[in-house]
Structure 1
Amino acid sequence: MLDDYAGLRVLDVSQGYAGPYCGAILARGGASVIKVEPPSGDWARAIGGAVDGHTAFSLVPNIGKRAVCIDGTREQGRALLVRLAKSTDIVIQNFRPGVVDRLQIADHQLRPDNPALIYVSILGFGAGPYEKRPATDTIIQGFTGMMEMNRDAQDTPRRIGMLAVDTAAGVYAAQQVGAALYRRLTKRGGQHVKISLVEVAAAFQAMPIVDDALRRRGQPNVPLSVPIGTFATADGHINLSCVSNAMFHGICKALGKADWILDPRFVTEAGRLDHAGEITAEVARILHTRPSVYWIEAFERHDVLCGPVQGYREFLDDPHVRASGLQATLQGGAFEGLPLTLLPGTSAAGTRLPAPPRLGEHTTEVLAEHGYSQSEIDRFVEDGTIVQAKTEGRRQ
């Protein structure tokens, strides 16, 4: 963990991935992040196969936080939430419109007592006719054209096989938190940061959106260069990219096609684009005759951009990845030794991170820090206003 955000207090009442991932970025930067969940838990805990109360969906965005479980449907529970929120620097929420108002922790309800508050709202569709529509990563991928961009060989739209929009939303939100902190540091007060998944997906796809607009104006739909793409080898696949005449010459030498260098059809990039089908087909035929490692070594000798297509296991076992220190391991209970990649700029060999918290693992601890007596806490436990998890078997 870093200490860049040491002393910063964050109340994360969000669920799913986008909001929690923003909180996780702050937590792994050294902020003290309290994750609040209802008695049923963050719904991400139930998406996929669960181990010790977590799935991959909920594990990654909650590492480094302390977990509090409060029943916000009860008046006493709402009072607890308000007290926690009034003593924090940042609140993160991603509920549908109206929910935080009912919980009494909306920005306009908290700001009079905490004008320096940075309040982060991660919305689905955002302001407009669809404001109250429910939204998920998949729904937004379809809505914003991302699935159209990712069509398969049969021309069927496909979602990107990870939470691309949610992950980008967490990163954009954390970036906006940094800007809001600077605003506060320069005596301009707190801020209500509002980010919608729709605008996140739009910003994330700025380049293909412009490319599509240019094509609709008549620009031909051609490859970025030739040859370029993913090619099958004798034992797998490699990525190959040609970005200059010199690199094309290197590809020709590596493939044993030196005659292409002097072929007048292929002398310029424009000429190669005109004959893209012929070049690509021949490159594919040749690459299929030898294993990936052979071609990677051959292309590297000629200073050609190339690389293997690997699975996650191969990636994490790669000697460069091991040497760069970007992989951490979790510690504690069922998660002991589980690999986790670090945030960019924080890589350090041998990093060990604590296991994500169980539902309500730190409830009584956090309430005690906020001035509640043991008798009050016991009463909240007894009447179901809060839940305190058992922590046997966890390494602290």
Structure 2
Amino acid sequence: MPDDSAAAAKAATTLPLNGLRVLDLTLARAGPTCVRHLADWGADIIRIEPPGNNDGFGGARDGFDSVNLHRNKRGLAIDLKSPEGHAAFLRLAATADVVVENMRMQVKHRLKIDYETLSKINPRLVYASISGFGQTGPYSTRGGVDQIAQGLGGLMSITGEPGRGPMRVGIPIDDLTAGNLLAMGVMMALYEREKTGKGRWVHTSLLEAQVFMLDFQATRWLQKGEIAGQAGNDHPVNTPMGVFPSADKPINIAASSPKLWAVFCKAAGREDWLAKPEWQTAEGRTADRAALNAAVSEVTRQKPSAYWIELLEEVGIPCGPINNIREVFEDPQVQHLGMVWDVPHAKLGKAGVVRTPINIEGHTPGIRRGVPALGEHADEILAEAGLTTEEIAALRAKKVLGE
């Protein structure tokens, strides 16, 4: 698909967020994750970067992170530290519906692009922020990255095998969760604006996202004083639920409820397990997890993974293979779901990215444009904000604009 502005605008006209203008001041991953939701569903995203920006990903504007995170956007490179650049940004903000940023708390105030400043010129503005640890409090001025939040928020203490020490999760889960939550917060604020006519400051942080994601592990502590530890591939409180060997490769099996445990014993040809007193309750099975898992493993390793998956699926026991990334995209269900979009790119021709996981019947989102070149759409964006050709030329002459 060519990166044509008219074609891109036409493609967005039927999507739910068509007509929504978003100023994207985000860096790294958490903020762009939020904006990506809005972009994929039709919002007009203006990515605002400093002149000379290298995307924050090792200079790889055409790298996998940049292409994935900054699709479906227009680009403007402008020096917000200069009086002229700041004044031009304020004119853009006056026309915007949403501003998204993930700067340190003090930076946006120093640049005078904080919510208090912008809401005075645009009371309808929804201003969305992600920080490392919160907009207020003793850690509010600290910079935060995903792994720091994983550690501080308890996730690394419950991830990995017992006795092996803390372990990070294999994806930037706090960045992604914070971005997802902020996108939901933006939509709530926009919905409220329909009734009140006024915008809001919406914010979350990597730390808040991580504590939220502790979920039942948190409530074990809050309600019963239990401090969860590492359980490896086993479920923390349910047995058997985890990874078991087969004749060719490991598989996941979830057969911990009383009904599923009984069904599993019959399917495995080990109905005698049902008579073992220590395995007749969920609590007993978990207390004797090591022996139970060893017994199950002795049975499952005798047949290949396909045998067990077919057998257990037939009797209603959740199970599945453990795929590497290549196998994920070769999986027939993943292919049926169409989880890959091709993004046009000036250097790469096209590049694969993961599509939005949200489905709204009657709408077909997709790629309308690839990652913008630095300052690619400066003239049209600034003209839409009311700047004249002469004013834009003056900004360019003063090196306020990058390209």
Normalized against structure 2, the TM-score is what? Answer: 0.87
Q: Does 1:296 align with 2:309?
A: yes
1:128 alignment partner, one of 115, 131, 137: 137
Query: Which of 357, 368, 381 does residue 366 from structure 1 map onto?
Result: 381
CA distance in 1, matches of 2:268, 2:237: 21
Aligned partners of 1:232, 1:358: CA distance in 2, in Å? 49
Per-residue Cα deviation, 1:183-221 (whole angstroms, up to 9, x for no partner): 111125211112222212111213211224456359999
Write the distance in 1 (CA, Å) between the matches of 2:149 and 2:54: 21
Measured against aligned partners, the alpha-carbon deviations of 1:268-287 in whole angstroms (never above 9, x if no partner) come to: 33443343222110112222
- Aligned equivalent of 2:391: 376
Deviates more, 1:270-279 or 1:159-168: 270-279
User: Amino acid of the residue matched to residue 21 of structure 2?
Assistant: R
Structure 1, unaligned stretches of length 5 or more? 389-396
**Larger deviation, residues 53-62 vs 227-236:** 53-62
Equivalent residue, structure 1, for 2:371: 356
Question: Which of residues 6, 18, 29 is equivalent to 2:30?
Answer: 18
Distance 1:273 1:311 in 2: 29
Structure 1, 379-388 or 23-32: larger mean CA deviation: 379-388
What CA distance in whole angstroms lies between the structure 1 residues aligned with 2:374 and 2:57? Answer: 9
RMSD: 2.6
Offset at residue 351 of structure 1 (A):
4.9
Contact conserved, 1:85 with 1:105, CA < 8 A, in 2? no
- Provide the rounded CA distance (Å) in 2 between the counterparts of 1:203 and 1:256: 41
Over residues 158-204 of structure 1, what are the superposed CA-to-partner deviations in whole Å (9 max), with x where a residue is unaligned?
Answer: 12121111111111111111111121111252111122222121112
Tell me if the contact between 1:235 and 1:292 (Cα under 8 Å) persists in the aligned partners.
yes
Distance 1:132 1:340, change over 3 A: same
Matches within 5 A, 1:297-312: 297-312=310-325
Q: Measure how far apart 1:152 and its partner are.
A: 3.6
**SS at 2:86's partner residue?**
helix
> What's the counterpart of residue 257 of structure 1?
270
Which residue in the other structure is 1:165 paired with?
A: 174
Q: Whole-Å Cα distance in 2 between the matches of residues 202 and 223 of structure 1? A: 17
CA contact under 8 A between 2:26 and 2:32: conserved in structure 1? yes
Q: Distance in 1 between matches of 2:220 and 2:67?
A: 36
Pick 1 or 2: higher relative contact order, CA cutoff 8 A, min separation 6: 2
CA gap 1:151/1:251 in 2 versus in 1, 3 angstroms: same
Structure 2 residues not aligned, in runs of 5+: 1-11
Contact 1:5 1:26 in 2 (8 A): yes
| Distance in structure 1 (CA, Å) of the matches to 2:75 and 2:183 | 20
Contact 2:71 2:343 in 1 (8 A): no
Larger CA deviation: 75-84 vs 346-355: 346-355
What's the counterpart of residue 156 of structure 1?
Answer: 165
Q: Which residue of 2 aligns with 1:180?
A: 189
Q: Is the 8 A contact 2:127 2:201 kept in 1?
A: yes
Deviates more, 1:97-106 or 1:114-123: 97-106
Q: Does the residue aligned with 2:103 lie in a helix, a strand or coil?
A: coil
State the alpha-carbon separation in 2 of the partners of residues 299 and 377 from structure 1: 66
- Show the 5 A alignment for 1:80-229: 80-126=88-134, 127-187=136-196, 189-213=198-222, 216=225, 223-229=236-242
The residue aligned with 1:8 is 20
The superposition leaves residues 326-345 of structure 1 with CA deviations (integer Å, 9 ceiling, x where unpaired) of 33222334151514232322
TM-score (norm 1): 0.88
Q: 1:143-168: per-residue Cα shift (whole Å, max 9, x none)?
A: 11111121345431112121111111
